[in-house]
Structure 1
Amino acid sequence: MPQLTRRRALTAAAALTAAAGVAAAVAPGASAAEHHHGSPEAFDEVYRGRRIQGRPASVGGHHHDHGGGYAVFVDGVELHVMQNADGSWISVVSHYAPVSTPRAAARAAVDELQGAALLPFPAN
């Protein structure tokens, strides 16, 4: 039996990591509608009586820096969203509860607002 060296251990760890990455990429639940060309697909719906919308944002704006080039609105007021390094999304309303898509972030914000109006967030 060959001796386990650091090189062999690192090679095995890299192979396992790559295999796990491939398995995650083809896992069920990764909807094509939510990952169209690396960006979530646009949506426009009424959720709990509030109109939520999301769409790719224009390049060069604030959202390109933090929101992955994506804009979300609740009743026409912009909900600032940000995509985390792990692919999850957070909003200014539900900052400590990451979700899987901007649509889920908009729904979580509506839930958190409990009927209150979303106020415009001042840009720096």
Structure 2
Amino acid sequence: MKKITRRQALGIGAGAAAALGLTACSSSSAPAPTAGASASGKPVAIPTGTIDEVYEGRRIQITLGAGGHHGVGVPTIKIDGNELHLMGNADGSWVTVVNHYESFPDPISAARAAIRDLQGAELAPFIAKEVQL
């Protein structure tokens, strides 16, 4: 008969603890944040269709694409015709390439903050390059 090693016993114990933790999380009464929800659980307005506005003299155009950047419905933001790269966080908040370390509740707020941070400078075009392995 083969004996169980300490490493195997620790692995089984860690797996059991993880399973119990997931069970406890899934049975809690608080709803988990979903896409379009903030960390507080309140829904965040994600634009549908097209938004076209002028903010501090700069033109913001937001459209909700069918596929989006990573296959999800990430809105496309253009400031004066140049695309502002937008990324969604797991908690439903948004960040841009201009202010990458600050989260915003909706894409409109992210675009306005990018305009403030640009301080009149032009937004450089975002060009995604493929990496060859």
Task: Give the TM-score normalised by the residue count of structure 2.
Answer: 0.64
Partner of 1:112: 117
In the alignment, is residue 46 of structure 1 matched against residue 54 of structure 2? yes
Q: Is the 8 A contact 1:66 1:83 kept in 2?
A: no
Q: Deviations along 1:73-102, whole A, 9 cap, x unmatched?
A: 101110010111111111110110010111
The 1:103–1:22 alpha-carbon spacing in structure 2 relative to 1, beyond 3 Å, is same
1:103 aligned to 105, 108, 132, which one?
Answer: 108
> How far is the alpha carbon of 1:22 from its aligned partner?
7.5
> 1:106 is paired with a residue of what secondary structure?
helix
Partner of 1:55: 63
The 1:69–1:115 alpha-carbon spacing in structure 2 relative to 1, beyond 3 Å, is same
Quick one: which amino acid aligns to residue 96 of structure 1?
Y
**Segment of structure 1 superposing worse, 50-59 or 71-80:** 50-59
> How far is the alpha carbon of 1:43 from its aligned partner?
1.5
The 1:67–1:117 alpha-carbon spacing in structure 2 relative to 1, beyond 3 Å, is farther
> 1:122 is paired with a residue of what secondary structure?
coil
Identity %: 45
In the alignment, is residue 30 of structure 1 matched against residue 43 of structure 2? yes
Matches within 5 A, 1:51-90: 51-59=59-67, 63-65=68-70, 68-90=73-95
Work out which of the two has the higher radius of gyration on C-alpha atoms and give 1 or 2.
Answer: 2
Q: Is the 8 A contact 1:67 1:80 kept in 2?
A: no
User: What RMSD over aligned residues (CA atoms) do the two structures have, in Å?
Assistant: 3.1
> How far is the alpha carbon of 1:23 from its aligned partner?
9.8
Task: State the aligned residue count.
Answer: 107
Task: Give the TM-score normalised by the residue count of structure 1.
Answer: 0.68
**Structure 1 unmatched runs, 5+:** 1-8
Distance 1:66 1:85 in 2: 15
Q: Is the 8 A contact 1:58 1:64 kept in 2?
A: no
> How far is the alpha carbon of 1:69 from its aligned partner?
3.1
Larger relative helix fraction: 1
Q: Deviations along 1:33-84, whole A, 9 cap, x unmatched?
A: x24xxxx32311111111111111242xxx3307733200101110010111
